[in-house]
Amino acid sequence: MSLLGGAAVAWPLQVRAQQPAKLPTIGYFGTASASAWGPWTTAFGQRLRELGWIEGRTVAIHYRWTEGRAERLAEIAAEFVRLKVDVIVTGGNAAVAAKQASSVIPIVFALMDDPVSMGLVESLARPGGNVTGLSMQQTELAGKRLELLREVVPGLRRLAIMANVDLPNVAQEMGGIQATAGTLGLDVAAFEIRRAEDIAPAFEALKSRAQALYVVGDALVITHRVRINTLALAARLPTIYNIREYVEAGGLMSYGPNIPALFRRAADFVDKILRGAKPGEIPVEQPTKFDLVINLTTAKALGLDVPLHLQQRADEVIE
């Protein structure tokens, strides 16, 4: 009996000893749909694998998507806190929501314009706290985008801006666009969208009031990028965006950071954190690769001739 009793005690201890330890866990916080972030998620996962983090074997990843709905931000951030993830990977206003939900869980942002003014980090060189990542420099690039637009739209004088101004980083970029447009002598009309239902009325309002459209990207815009481009084409409006995904969906042009490259770099940040580095001691980095993408099919539909020198400068020409 004593031998049986001893075996009964030893067996569950032995089973517990054989159970695998909890995998490090990443909370992947997407501000749009899974399909919209698809190329970025693929780039992130590929780099993780190169670094030895295999999903389901050496790391667990929880994916959550807001589908462009701002009300989901705080909800998902709170869920990751409850799940006690080891690091959150996200971008834009989701990084703000994550920071508000936790001052302890490390946060890596791959999409952020000015993390200092957003209150996410103390400085780029010394972030402090629990947040670090990659800054996109969107406001600084506004002037370059407007210059490109003027090359393709001769005699451009009237510019429309469409943006979801409820988001702090979007409002900041919008201010930069308006200031730059003023120095170029452009008359600017701003059209605000907050929900998908606002998109069509915004186009109705801007009819005949602009010669081109600068669309400020965010989760709502990328989720409905095909619809926005369809309406812009119907209104005969050339569009400029910040990233290639909008041009692949029918926009005219984009100039901005290569987002898959940023997500690959974000995986390096995650690797360092999972191996013990403190996010507050990892400097925020800025993009090193910028892409000019031009959709010649859209240009033709709008009756525009894209200068040959601009086509030759482009990183990608869609025909």
User: What amino acid is encoded at 237 in this protein?
Assistant: L
Asked if residue 202 and residue 59 are part of one domain, the reply reads no
pLDDT at position 20 is 55
| 35 within some domain | yes
| 174 within some domain | yes
Domain count, the chain: 2
Query: How many whole angstroms separate alpha carbon 62 and alpha carbon 76?
Result: 11
* Choice among 209-213, 276-280, 285-289, 298-302 with the minimum mean pLDDT: 285-289
pLDDT at position 69 is 86
Query: How many whole angstroms separate alpha carbon 132 and alpha carbon 169?
Result: 16
Asked if residue 282 and residue 297 are part of one domain, the reply reads no
Tokens of 272: 């360092």
pLDDT at position 170 is 76
| 1 within some domain | no
Asked if residue 160 and residue 77 are part of one domain, the reply reads no
Identify the CATH number of the domain in which residue 68 sits.
Answer: 3.40.50.2300
Asked if residue 208 and residue 302 are part of one domain, the reply reads yes
Q: What is the mean pLDDT of residues 35-41?
A: 92
Asked if residue 160 and residue 280 are part of one domain, the reply reads no
Asked if residue 183 and residue 51 are part of one domain, the reply reads no
Contact 174, 152 (CB under 8 A): no
Confidence of residue 140 (pLDDT cuts 50, 70, 90): confident
Average pLDDT, the chain: 90
Asked if residue 75 and residue 44 are part of one domain, the reply reads yes
* Choice among 10-19, 95-104, 188-197, 258-267 with the minimum mean pLDDT: 10-19
pLDDT tens string 96-116 = 999 999 999 999 999 888 888
Q: What is the pTM of this model?
A: 0.84
Query: How many whole angstroms separate alpha carbon 280 and alpha carbon 300?
Result: 49
In this predicted structure, the answer to whether residue 281 has a pLDDT above a threshold of 70 is: yes
Asked if residue 252 and residue 159 are part of one domain, the reply reads yes
In this predicted structure, the answer to whether residue 13 has a pLDDT above a threshold of 50 is: no
Confidence of residue 136 (pLDDT cuts 50, 70, 90): confident
Asked if residue 266 and residue 240 are part of one domain, the reply reads no
